[in-house]
Structure 1
Amino acid sequence: MTADDSFGRLDDDYPAYTMGRAAEMLGTTQGFLRAIGEARLITPLRSAGGHRRYSRYQLRIAARARELVDHGTPVEAACRIIILEDQLQEARRINAEHRRATESAS
């Protein structure tokens, strides 16, 4: 197995990135990551030493928040928008499942 193979197998939920690395990857500051954590958009896991660790999934959410903030949306509002977008997506998924179940029952 090559390094490329093992990288592709990393779980999106595995907290692989330190706060510094996450901020660097997103082109933002550690303060921004703390702010979206305080707004409860993402909750990074903590290492044994108490350091924040971020997953790929959390980095995608943080990137979306940064995009909104870069367009002038306050951090708290950006976090709320993303949460509502996520809830809407989940509601649509549930509705689609119900429609499929209803169609297959009839």
Structure 2
Amino acid sequence: MPSRSTRPVDPLDDDDYPAYTMGRAAEMIGTTPAFLRALGEHRLITPLRSEGGHRRYSRYQLRIAARARELVDRGTSVEAACRIVVLEDQLEEAQRINERLRGHGGGQQQAT
């Protein structure tokens, strides 16, 4: 599953805070609880569980689920959509690392 590394102090500002029930999460992204369960089965998102065992989703997980839903709506299988989203996330992370390395003096060009 795509992951995030920075966490704000206030849970209301935290994209990783598991604030949404399955029903609310499904409603927010225009899908069904079964779709969210399928994403979990394919290990794209792993919701946290409340003390009562209910799935709870974060805003970050909902963005990931919404991207998968877009792909499925275009005819991609759930399994393939999950793989595509993971690869997109890995590419984005690699690009962030590249930019950070370039910005810190790596590979500066000389003026001619």
- In 2, the alpha carbon distance for the partners of 1:87 and 1:10 equals 24
1:67 to 42, 59, 70: 70
| TM-score, reference length from structure 2 | 0.81
CA distance in 1, matches of 2:100, 2:67: 27
The structure 1 segments of at least 4 consecutive aligned residues displaced by more than 4 Å after TM superposition are none
TM-score, reference length from structure 1 = 0.85
The CA distance in 1 between the partners of 2:54 and 2:82, in whole Å, is 22
Deviation, 1:10, is 3.2
In structure 2, how many angstroms separate the alpha carbons of the residues matched to 1:25 and 1:90? 26
Is 1:96–2:99 an aligned residue pair?
yes
What is the percentage of aligned positions where both structures have the same residue?
A: 76
Unaligned segments of structure 2, at least 5 residues: 1-11
- Count of residue correspondences: 97
Q: For residue 103 of structure 1, report the CA deviation from its aligned partner.
A: 4.7
Give the aligned CA root-mean-square deviation in angstroms: 1.4
| 2:47 matched residue in structure 1 | 44
Q: Secondary structure at the match of 1:14?
A: coil
Separation in structure 2 between the aligned mates of residue 68 and residue 41 of structure 1, nearest angstrom: 13
Superposition deviation, residue 24 in structure 1? 1.1
CA deviation vs aligned residue, 1:24-50 (integer Å, no higher than 9, x gap): 111111100000011111110000011
Give the AA of the match of 1:38.
E
